[in-house]
Amino acid sequence: MPLSPLIPPLCALLLALLSWQAATDGPVRSLDERFGHWLAESSLPSPAAQFFADLGDAAVALPVLVLALAYAALRGRRARAPRWWLPPLAAALAMAAVPALVVPLKTWIGRPGPPRMAGGAHEGFFPSGHAATAAVAYGAALLLLLPYARERARTRRPTPFIAYGLLNVAVGVGLVRQGYHWPLDVLGAWCLAGLVLWCLHRALLTARRPGPVRPRPRASRAPGPPGP
């Protein structure tokens, strides 16, 4: 999956702009909250929205990633790949980076949540931890498992990424429909996840790069000493 080097600065710039708008009581935030109210009161089926919103819960997303970590480690070790442990470790660190980044941002920006979340124990709602968890957990699992896909599956490369994108859109819509987050919270989480997954992708490329091949010593063709 070729990723442009422009992705990190674009994600960082968009995250900064969204953070600014979420922290200030401006027209963008007002529009965002109006759209959030409209979606929360829409006719979208609540059970389906709740199902997809729950996919961003750590209790659901983390076991999926753990299974992907175990599978990648097992396959790499069986194949005796050099640094077979590095891709699972990099994916685990990427997942650990989510709360380390989301929690300080939530506390710093301190955006109030939707009316349903009023009176909760949350320090802030931007960016969405559930949206970031889903994006990074399922994205890391996809990056880990894709190299082990069969050749027939590899010829349809866009398919798993399209499915991954649609899944995250469904999670984001579910979070807003159920009144857990505003739309800007979800967008900010996706920008943050884009940065984390780009770093993970680069780390996986480095880990899977074959090392230098050392030539085997050749037997000398020089004639041996004459016999007695």
pLDDT at 221 over 60: no
Residue 159's pLDDT is: 85
Distance in angstroms (rounded) separating the CA atoms of residues 78 and 72: 10
Distance in angstroms (rounded) separating the CA atoms of residues 117 and 179: 7
Residue 52's pLDDT is: 97
pLDDT at 122 over 70: no
How large is the C-alpha radius of gyration of the chain? 23
CA-closest candidate to residue 3, choices 198, 194, 146 = 198
* pTM of the entire predicted model: 0.86
**What is the tens place of the pLDDT at every residue in 188-208?**
999 999 999 999 999 988 877
Query: Which one-letter DSSP state was computed for residue 223?
Result: P
For the chain, the residue count is: 228
Q: Mean pLDDT throughout 99-121?
A: 88
Residue 1's pLDDT is: 45
**Which of 39-53, 140-154, 170-184, 210-224 is the least confident region?**
210-224
pLDDT at 213 over 50: no
Query: Which one-letter DSSP state was computed for residue 41?
Result: T
Q: Report the 10 Å Cβ neighbour count for 44.
A: 14
Residue 14 burial (C-beta neighbours within 10 Å; 0-12, 13-18, 19+): middle
**What is the tens place of the pLDDT at every residue in 146-188?**
888 765 555 556 888 999 999 999 999 999 999 999 999 999 9
Q: How many percent of the chain have pLDDT more than 90? A: 68
Model confidence at 214, pLDDT cuts 50, 70, 90, reads very low
pLDDT at 34 over 90: yes
Average confidence score pLDDT of the chain: 87
Distance in angstroms (rounded) separating the CA atoms of residues 208 and 195: 20
CB 126 within 8 A of CB 107: no
